[in-house]
A and B are shown apart, each in its own frame.
Chain A
């Protein structure tokens, strides 16, 4: 068929070569899952510094009670991690991963930008740059562009959502999937069969076409509704849970997934954010239950999987007059996976006393987010080109991986 088409008579000298020659060639490493908490998550109520008196002075209503505070009900108290930090009670699903040392927390972590603007901070963080100058592509995009893993799958990098996250922007094609069904053809069973036949006829001599058809066939059989997770993992019935579940499905289907970017929004809690229950605790529940289910479901793949969470900045140390928190600075990252130096809160704690907070009263940043990402990129994804991924930045390895 191919040979009969008028435009395709020519010899094959024009057939594709690699789009560009990345300087590093290496076998692919872990699958990386990047969870972005959009809106600036209030990390001080997620990983609570219960050993810090100032925390309770600054947050008389919103503060999460100490683990041993007998005046409060157990479900209102922080779950102790190391005697100084504790998890919000709704983050408790992550305790298993913590105890099996596969969850590391890097507190007071973030970016140098002090604009406290969501738009600007998110953009800079996704581009991996210090200020508006510098490359406009995303850090994951540059990771893909600087590492040739020999993987040409259209699902090498996937942004869960209607469009790829800015961090994925770059010269390597990425796919945006609201759901696995986005890699299906539309139409009823009959129409589908007809389209499939037409495609396999016109692509019968084309390797890339055949590969795409076979990924399409694989995905066509996957249905998140009937998917049976391993170890009875229960993903929350939310958009976030669905994105994690589908990431797990893609990894297990072995369709070439190297990076999955997932967003969880709604963290901009200026008003009535809730202490142990309410708006923000519900988000934490979604986050923790989702990550815990993913961790359990992917148990047999833990050695080839790293998950990282990030947010554009943290929130003010003190609560505001409407029982919420305003834009702050220092944030927190979590790294989850089989090669993580887990069960520890990493990073230097800057303290919350007057003189220790910065600007209008915000947690300082003692670990740059790029340090954490650089360590993951070099140690787990086999990409040493951090100078191109984070230009003009010299990472210091925070040793969150083993």
Chain B
């Protein structure tokens, strides 16, 4: 469904008119064609798993579309993300003015002059908008890749001026190249002031070299820790990077190469002799790193870990790495291999906190402004842009299995509609397929959340245990639904 410009203006006005986003969201999402009034489609176990890897938790309409066109066509549709109409989501982002500002303007709006800096508004808008995109964007694979690269090129928003520079990095580095070429991505990241500040390259000067960024550029961004570089290479690359810096006055917050801080000697990185050529020295190295076989393998491994398994199959990594080299780092081509060859080999992955929260909200078709959701994520340990070390939020299941309580609290607060400005309606959700019998409703909910109904014995035991605690029929359905979201099974995707 496409919208005319007039429709768009009408919808925008509707949003702007209402301060409480969540209250009017269904109206314009319906106009944008999001809510089919049909029962949700039953999925095979494989399809349910695939959709759980390709989205932040499948919505009802996404299940229908997936079954309609099949895995391959779904992936192609999602890879061609720019042709997916995402108006409804974009309208919801319109209140977040900071998303579109440049560094200088962002500094301006956060500088309170005599009261120092407002370090909260800009990061909060970035977090809120990130969650809204993950929840409501139809470009789910793109949003997953944005999250992936935000981890890969992690920046801790609390450090120094990162609190406003990350907004620029998110827009100009991560979102711009998330499904583009890896070379462009790493190039943009290397010229990103937020990254300079986060990894101390603004302190990397001829007289006191600072190796921090040079090391992470090879260890975490390209080659990987076993990628075949030495401490000497780190030191030499750090010398190439001397003078890569951030403007402190006019056009403050922009990238700048400071000639006077640059080490003008000859360098040698990974066997390549680098003649003095100012900013081009490190750029030459970045070109080399971006298409290095170690990089191809490292990036392929991480992608396969995100989508397929904590310990992905070796053959898959090798095939994806070969594609990376053949295409000079075309991210879509590598993803195609990983998804089409890999999904059949998928192993269970424990949902990271954001994935857990988002999947329950999406599957229940909940409405939220994402503010209180971020508070829950903070307690679970994954409020975005809050990971201090440069390796990004961990992607292995074992890292997240230690803290169940905040997940249980979220599950029951959500299901009891106790989260601020967040609403769902089980009755409406079940309406289209309900027979009015509790057991059937529980089966329907279980298929929605876990992909298939429980065995009868397990289902009845769950229902009976809640009833034994004195729940009415309506309460039983609600508490069982909360129990399903809190359950071990729902922690995995």
In this assembly, does A198 line the interface, its C-beta being within 8 Å of a C-beta of chain B?
Answer: yes
B405 touches A2 (CB 8 A): no
Closest to B487 in A: A202
Q: Which residues of B contact A14 (CB under 8 A)?
A: 310, 347-348, 397
Which of A208-216, A344-352, A365-373 has 4 or more CB atoms under 8 Å from chain B?
A: A208-216
In this assembly, does B450 line the interface, its C-beta being within 8 Å of a C-beta of chain A?
Answer: yes
B398 touches A201 (CB 8 A): no
A7 touches B404 (CB 8 A): no
> Are A6 and B489 CB-contacts (below 8 A) given A136-B388, A190-B469?
yes
Q: Which of B367-425 contact A (CB under 8 A)?
A: 378-379, 381, 388-389, 394, 396-406, 408-409, 412-413, 416, 418
Contact with A along B465-493 (1 / 0, CB 8 A): 11011110001100110111011110010
CB contact between B465 and one of A17, A152, A201 (< 8 Å): that residue: A201
In this assembly, does A18 line the interface, its C-beta being within 8 Å of a C-beta of chain B?
Answer: yes
> Are A135 and B389 CB-contacts (below 8 A) given A6-B452, A10-B347?
yes
Q: Which of A1-55 contact B (CB under 8 A)?
A: 1-2, 4-8, 10, 14, 16-20
A195 touches B470 (CB 8 A): no
In this assembly, does B455 line the interface, its C-beta being within 8 Å of a C-beta of chain A?
Answer: yes
With the chains together, A7 CA to B406 CA distance in Å? 22
Closest to B198 in A: A136
Q: Which of B415-460 contact A (CB under 8 A)?
A: 416, 418, 450-452, 454-455, 457-458
Number of A-B contacts (CB under 8 A): 168
With the chains together, A190 CA to B405 CA distance in Å? 19
A202 touches B389 (CB 8 A): no
> Are A196 and B469 CB-contacts (below 8 A) given A163-B378, A176-B379?
yes
> Are A8 and B210 CB-contacts (below 8 A) given A186-B413, A195-B482, A198-B462?
no
With the chains together, A199 CA to B402 CA distance in Å? 17
With the chains together, A135 CA to B482 CA distance in Å? 39
B483 touches A212 (CB 8 A): no
Q: B479: shortest Cβ distance to chain A, in Å?
A: 5
In this assembly, does A218 line the interface, its C-beta being within 8 Å of a C-beta of chain B?
Answer: no
Q: B234: shortest Cβ distance to chain A, in Å?
A: 15
With the chains together, A196 CA to B408 CA distance in Å? 10
A202 touches B156 (CB 8 A): no
A202 touches B348 (CB 8 A): no
Q: B401: shortest Cβ distance to chain A, in Å?
A: 5
In this assembly, does A396 line the interface, its C-beta being within 8 Å of a C-beta of chain B?
Answer: no
B402 touches A154 (CB 8 A): yes
Q: Which of A178-194 contact B (CB under 8 A)?
A: 183, 185-187, 190-191, 193-194
In this assembly, does A318 line the interface, its C-beta being within 8 Å of a C-beta of chain B?
Answer: no
> Are A202 and B483 CB-contacts (below 8 A) given A4-B454, A19-B399, A185-B412?
yes
A171 touches B469 (CB 8 A): no
Q: Which of A125-163 contact B (CB under 8 A)?
A: 132-138, 141, 152, 154, 163
B469 touches A194 (CB 8 A): yes
With the chains together, A203 CA to B465 CA distance in Å? 13
B402 touches A19 (CB 8 A): yes
Contact with B along A194-231 (1 / 0, CB 8 A): 11111111110010110010011000000000000000
Q: Which residues of A contact B462 (CB under 8 A)?
A: 1, 198, 201-202
B469 touches A209 (CB 8 A): no
> Are A197 and B466 CB-contacts (below 8 A) given A170-B388, A186-B413, A202-B483?
yes
With the chains together, A134 CA to B212 CA distance in Å? 8
CB contact between B398 and one of A16, A136, A169, A185 (< 8 Å): that residue: A16
With the chains together, A202 CA to B310 CA distance in Å? 25
Q: A211: shortest Cβ distance to chain B, in Å?
A: 9
A208 touches B159 (CB 8 A): no
A16 touches B379 (CB 8 A): no
Closest to A20 in B: B399
In this assembly, does B19 line the interface, its C-beta being within 8 Å of a C-beta of chain A?
Answer: no
- How many of B's residues come within 8 Å of A, CB to CB? 66
Q: Which residues of B contact A302 (CB under 8 A)?
A: none
B451 touches A186 (CB 8 A): no
Q: Which residues of A contact B413 (CB under 8 A)?
A: 186
With the chains together, A206 CA to B469 CA distance in Å? 22
B469 touches A7 (CB 8 A): no
With the chains together, A185 CA to B468 CA distance in Å? 19
Closest to A13 in B: B347
With the chains together, A175 CA to B458 CA distance in Å? 32
B470 touches A190 (CB 8 A): yes
B402 touches A2 (CB 8 A): no
In this assembly, does A361 line the interface, its C-beta being within 8 Å of a C-beta of chain B?
Answer: no
Q: Which residues of B contact A175 (CB under 8 A)?
A: 379, 403, 405-406
Q: A156: shortest Cβ distance to chain B, in Å?
A: 9
Q: Which of B194-209 contact A (CB under 8 A)?
A: 198, 200, 203
Q: Which of B179-206 contact A (CB under 8 A)?
A: 198, 200, 203
Q: B162: shortest Cβ distance to chain A, in Å?
A: 10
B388 touches A195 (CB 8 A): no
In this assembly, does B228 line the interface, its C-beta being within 8 Å of a C-beta of chain A?
Answer: no
Q: A189: shortest Cβ distance to chain B, in Å?
A: 10
B416 touches A6 (CB 8 A): no
In this assembly, does A343 line the interface, its C-beta being within 8 Å of a C-beta of chain B?
Answer: no
B45 touches A6 (CB 8 A): yes
A194 touches B479 (CB 8 A): yes
Q: Which residues of A contact B486 (CB under 8 A)?
A: 198-199, 202
A4 touches B458 (CB 8 A): yes
B412 touches A1 (CB 8 A): no
B465 touches A197 (CB 8 A): yes
B489 touches A216 (CB 8 A): no
CB contact between B451 and one of A6, A10, A187, A194 (< 8 Å): that residue: A6
In this assembly, does A395 line the interface, its C-beta being within 8 Å of a C-beta of chain B?
Answer: no
Closest to A6 in B: B452
CB contact between B210 and one of A17, A133, A185 (< 8 Å): that residue: A133
A16 touches B397 (CB 8 A): yes
> Are A199 and B483 CB-contacts (below 8 A) given A1-B462, A6-B452, A186-B418?
yes
In this assembly, does A173 line the interface, its C-beta being within 8 Å of a C-beta of chain B?
Answer: yes
In this assembly, does B160 line the interface, its C-beta being within 8 Å of a C-beta of chain A?
Answer: yes
Closest to B197 in A: A132
B482 touches A198 (CB 8 A): yes
A206 touches B488 (CB 8 A): yes
In this assembly, does B461 line the interface, its C-beta being within 8 Å of a C-beta of chain A?
Answer: yes
Q: B152: shortest Cβ distance to chain A, in Å?
A: 17
Q: Which residues of B contact A199 (CB under 8 A)?
A: 408, 483, 486
B404 touches A18 (CB 8 A): no
With the chains together, A146 CA to B189 CA distance in Å? 30
Closest to A136 in B: B388
- Which of A2, A134, A169, A202 has its CB near the most chain B CB atoms (within 10 A)? A202
Q: Which residues of B contact A133 (CB under 8 A)?
A: 200, 203, 210, 212
Q: Which of A76-103 contact B (CB under 8 A)?
A: none
A194 touches B466 (CB 8 A): yes
> Are A18 and B398 CB-contacts (below 8 A) given A173-B381, A198-B486?
yes
Q: Which residues of A contact B455 (CB under 8 A)?
A: 4
B492 touches A7 (CB 8 A): yes
CB contact between A202 and one of B160, B409, B484 (< 8 Å): that residue: B484
With the chains together, A18 CA to B347 CA distance in Å? 18
CB contact between A16 and one of B401, B461, B483, B487 (< 8 Å): that residue: B401
CB contact between B471 and one of A119, A136, A194 (< 8 Å): that residue: A194
Q: Which residues of B contact A169 (CB under 8 A)?
A: 388
A194 touches B403 (CB 8 A): no
CB contact between B488 and one of A10, A194, A202 (< 8 Å): that residue: A202
Sample (17) of A-B pairs whose CB atoms are under 8 Å apart: A5-B487, A6-B45, A8-B348, A19-B399, A19-B402, A119-B116, A170-B389, A171-B389, A171-B394, A195-B482, A197-B466, A197-B469, A199-B486, A201-B462, A202-B489, A203-B487, A212-B404
With contacts A185-B408, A197-B466, A215-B405 known, what are 7 further pairs, Cβ within 8 A? Answer: A5-B489, A7-B49, A14-B347, A132-B159, A154-B402, A194-B471, A198-B465
The 9 closest A-B pairs by CB, nearest first: A198-B483, A136-B388, A5-B489, A4-B458, A4-B455, A202-B487, A133-B200, A197-B465, A193-B469
